[in-house]
Amino acid sequence: MIFHVWNGHSHQYDAYVLPGGFSYGDYLRAGAIAATSPSLETIREATDNGKPVLGICNGFQILVEAGILPGAVLRNTGLRFVCKWTRLKIESTRTPFTKLANKGQALRIPIAHNEGRYYLDNNQLAELEKREQIVLRYVDENNIPSQDSNPNGSMDNIAGICNKEGNVMGLMPHPERASIPILTPDNHSEGKMIFDSMIETLEGGR
Protein backbone atom coordinates (compact mmCIF):
# COMPACT_ATOMS: atom_id res chain seq x y z
CA MET A 1 0.00 0.00 0.00
CA ILE A 2 1.21 3.53 -0.81
CA PHE A 3 0.85 6.46 1.59
CA HIS A 4 1.61 10.11 0.82
CA VAL A 5 3.54 11.72 3.65
CA TRP A 6 5.37 15.04 3.80
CA ASN A 7 4.65 17.38 6.70
CA GLY A 8 4.97 14.91 9.51
CA HIS A 9 6.94 12.09 11.07
CA SER A 10 6.01 8.65 9.74
CA HIS A 11 8.43 5.97 10.79
CA GLN A 12 6.31 2.87 10.19
CA TYR A 13 6.85 2.47 6.44
CA ASP A 14 9.11 -0.07 4.78
CA ALA A 15 10.44 2.24 2.04
CA TYR A 16 10.30 5.89 1.00
CA VAL A 17 10.13 7.56 -2.41
CA LEU A 18 10.79 11.28 -2.84
CA PRO A 19 9.22 12.13 -6.23
CA GLY A 20 9.79 14.97 -8.65
CA GLY A 21 7.65 18.08 -8.55
CA PHE A 22 9.45 21.42 -8.07
CA SER A 23 8.95 21.48 -4.30
CA TYR A 24 8.54 25.02 -2.94
CA GLY A 25 8.81 26.31 -6.51
CA ASP A 26 12.55 25.56 -6.56
CA TYR A 27 13.11 28.90 -4.79
CA LEU A 28 16.72 29.53 -3.69
CA ARG A 29 17.68 26.42 -5.67
CA ALA A 30 16.10 23.07 -6.39
CA GLY A 31 15.50 21.07 -3.21
CA ALA A 32 17.07 23.63 -0.86
CA ILE A 33 13.94 24.53 1.10
CA ALA A 34 12.47 21.02 1.02
CA ALA A 35 15.71 19.69 2.54
CA THR A 36 14.84 21.55 5.76
CA SER A 37 11.39 19.95 6.07
CA PRO A 38 10.63 17.99 9.29
CA SER A 39 9.93 14.95 7.11
CA LEU A 40 13.64 14.74 6.30
CA GLU A 41 14.23 13.60 9.87
CA THR A 42 12.18 10.53 9.02
CA ILE A 43 14.18 10.02 5.81
CA ARG A 44 17.47 10.28 7.71
CA GLU A 45 16.25 7.72 10.22
CA ALA A 46 15.13 5.40 7.42
CA THR A 47 18.52 5.82 5.78
CA ASP A 48 20.36 4.96 8.98
CA ASN A 49 18.13 1.92 9.50
CA GLY A 50 18.91 0.56 6.04
CA LYS A 51 15.45 1.08 4.56
CA PRO A 52 15.19 1.69 0.80
CA VAL A 53 14.96 5.39 -0.03
CA LEU A 54 14.53 6.54 -3.64
CA GLY A 55 14.81 10.15 -4.83
CA ILE A 56 13.53 10.94 -8.33
CA CYS A 57 14.45 14.25 -9.99
CA ASN A 58 13.49 16.83 -7.34
CA GLY A 59 13.69 14.00 -4.81
CA PHE A 60 17.33 13.45 -5.83
CA GLN A 61 17.99 17.17 -5.48
CA ILE A 62 16.48 17.13 -1.98
CA LEU A 63 18.62 14.16 -0.90
CA VAL A 64 21.74 15.95 -2.12
CA GLU A 65 20.78 19.25 -0.48
CA ALA A 66 20.13 17.38 2.78
CA GLY A 67 23.57 15.77 2.63
CA ILE A 68 22.15 12.26 2.47
CA LEU A 69 23.75 11.78 -0.95
CA PRO A 70 27.08 13.36 -1.95
CA GLY A 71 27.75 16.05 -4.53
CA ALA A 72 25.60 18.84 -5.90
CA VAL A 73 22.95 19.21 -8.60
CA LEU A 74 23.43 22.39 -10.66
CA ARG A 75 21.70 24.12 -13.57
CA ASN A 76 21.96 22.38 -16.92
CA THR A 77 24.91 23.55 -19.00
CA GLY A 78 22.52 24.96 -21.61
CA LEU A 79 20.76 26.99 -18.87
CA ARG A 80 17.43 25.72 -20.16
CA PHE A 81 14.79 23.23 -19.11
CA VAL A 82 15.32 19.89 -20.87
CA CYS A 83 12.54 17.36 -21.47
CA LYS A 84 13.54 14.34 -23.58
CA TRP A 85 14.05 10.61 -23.63
CA THR A 86 17.47 9.38 -22.56
CA ARG A 87 19.31 6.10 -22.67
CA LEU A 88 20.83 4.95 -19.38
CA LYS A 89 23.37 2.27 -18.57
CA ILE A 90 23.16 0.29 -15.34
CA GLU A 91 26.57 0.59 -13.68
CA SER A 92 25.72 -1.08 -10.37
CA THR A 93 23.20 -3.70 -9.29
CA ARG A 94 23.94 -3.55 -5.57
CA THR A 95 21.03 -1.24 -4.73
CA PRO A 96 17.47 -2.29 -3.83
CA PHE A 97 16.39 -0.48 -7.01
CA THR A 98 18.63 -2.28 -9.52
CA LYS A 99 18.85 -5.80 -8.12
CA LEU A 100 16.71 -7.21 -10.96
CA ALA A 101 18.90 -5.59 -13.63
CA ASN A 102 22.09 -6.81 -15.26
CA LYS A 103 25.20 -4.69 -15.06
CA GLY A 104 25.60 -2.94 -18.40
CA GLN A 105 21.89 -3.19 -19.21
CA ALA A 106 20.38 -0.18 -20.99
CA LEU A 107 17.14 1.55 -20.03
CA ARG A 108 15.16 4.21 -21.89
CA ILE A 109 13.82 6.71 -19.38
CA PRO A 110 12.84 10.37 -19.88
CA ILE A 111 14.18 13.44 -18.09
CA ALA A 112 12.45 16.75 -17.35
CA HIS A 113 14.52 19.29 -15.41
CA ASN A 114 16.26 22.64 -15.40
CA GLU A 115 18.74 21.75 -12.67
CA GLY A 116 20.02 18.26 -13.35
CA ARG A 117 23.77 18.64 -13.81
CA TYR A 118 25.36 16.40 -11.21
CA TYR A 119 28.69 17.68 -9.94
CA LEU A 120 31.37 16.71 -7.43
CA ASP A 121 35.14 17.10 -7.29
CA ASN A 122 37.58 14.61 -8.81
CA ASN A 123 38.51 13.05 -5.48
CA GLN A 124 34.85 12.44 -4.65
CA LEU A 125 34.29 11.02 -8.13
CA ALA A 126 37.13 8.55 -7.60
CA GLU A 127 35.54 7.50 -4.30
CA LEU A 128 32.17 6.96 -5.97
CA GLU A 129 33.81 4.79 -8.62
CA LYS A 130 35.73 2.79 -6.03
CA ARG A 131 32.66 2.10 -3.92
CA GLU A 132 30.34 1.37 -6.87
CA GLN A 133 28.12 4.31 -5.97
CA ILE A 134 27.59 5.37 -9.57
CA VAL A 135 24.41 3.51 -10.50
CA LEU A 136 23.33 5.06 -13.83
CA ARG A 137 25.06 6.90 -16.67
CA TYR A 138 23.70 8.61 -19.78
CA VAL A 139 24.92 6.67 -22.83
CA ASP A 140 24.54 6.58 -26.60
CA GLU A 141 23.05 3.79 -28.72
CA ASN A 142 26.28 1.82 -28.30
CA ASN A 143 26.01 2.08 -24.50
CA ILE A 144 29.01 4.42 -24.38
CA PRO A 145 28.97 7.61 -22.28
CA SER A 146 29.49 10.49 -24.70
CA GLN A 147 29.11 14.24 -24.83
CA ASP A 148 26.17 13.95 -27.20
CA SER A 149 24.36 11.53 -24.89
CA ASN A 150 24.83 13.81 -21.88
CA PRO A 151 21.68 15.97 -21.78
CA ASN A 152 22.63 18.35 -18.99
CA GLY A 153 26.42 18.39 -18.60
CA SER A 154 26.51 16.02 -15.64
CA MET A 155 30.00 15.11 -14.54
CA ASP A 156 31.13 11.81 -16.06
CA ASN A 157 27.63 11.40 -17.58
CA ILE A 158 26.24 10.50 -14.16
CA ALA A 159 22.45 10.09 -14.07
CA GLY A 160 22.06 8.36 -10.71
CA ILE A 161 24.06 7.48 -7.60
CA CYS A 162 23.63 5.71 -4.27
CA ASN A 163 25.00 6.18 -0.77
CA LYS A 164 27.90 4.10 0.57
CA GLU A 165 25.55 1.49 2.00
CA GLY A 166 23.55 1.24 -1.22
CA ASN A 167 20.07 1.60 0.31
CA VAL A 168 19.56 5.21 -0.85
CA MET A 169 19.49 6.02 -4.56
CA GLY A 170 18.88 9.27 -6.38
CA LEU A 171 18.43 9.79 -10.12
CA MET A 172 17.41 12.67 -12.36
CA PRO A 173 15.46 10.61 -14.96
CA HIS A 174 11.80 9.72 -14.26
CA PRO A 175 11.32 5.91 -14.19
CA GLU A 176 7.63 6.36 -13.30
CA ARG A 177 7.12 7.93 -16.73
CA ALA A 178 8.40 4.74 -18.36
CA SER A 179 6.68 2.24 -16.10
CA ILE A 180 3.66 1.28 -18.22
CA PRO A 181 3.52 0.90 -22.02
CA ILE A 182 0.85 3.55 -22.59
CA LEU A 183 3.27 6.21 -21.31
CA THR A 184 6.05 5.42 -23.77
CA PRO A 185 6.41 6.09 -27.51
CA ASP A 186 7.04 2.45 -28.40
CA ASN A 187 5.04 0.68 -25.69
CA HIS A 188 7.88 -0.34 -23.40
CA SER A 189 8.00 -0.22 -19.60
CA GLU A 190 11.72 -0.27 -18.86
CA GLY A 191 11.48 2.11 -15.91
CA LYS A 192 9.26 -0.37 -14.04
CA MET A 193 12.32 -2.49 -13.24
CA ILE A 194 13.40 0.06 -10.63
CA PHE A 195 10.12 -0.28 -8.73
CA ASP A 196 9.96 -4.06 -9.24
CA SER A 197 13.44 -4.31 -7.73
CA MET A 198 12.34 -2.33 -4.68
CA ILE A 199 9.28 -4.55 -4.21
CA GLU A 200 11.42 -7.67 -4.58
CA THR A 201 13.77 -6.32 -1.91
CA LEU A 202 10.92 -5.59 0.49
CA GLU A 203 9.21 -8.94 -0.04
CA GLY A 204 12.50 -10.74 0.42
CA GLY A 205 12.95 -9.07 3.80
CA ARG A 206 9.67 -10.38 5.19
Residues labelled catalytic:
57, 174, 176
SS3 183: helix
Q: What DSSP string describes 132-166?
A: T-EEEEE--TTS---TTT-SS--GGGEEEEE-TTS
Buried-exposed string 50-88: b where 16+ CB fall within 10 A, e elsewhere:
ebbbbbbbbbbbbbbbbebbbbebbbbeeeeebeeebbb
Q: Is the CB of residue 96 less than 8 Å from the CB of residue 144?
A: no
Phi, psi of 130, deg, nearest 5? -60, -40
SS3 content of the chain, % helix, strand, coil (to 5): 30, 20, 50
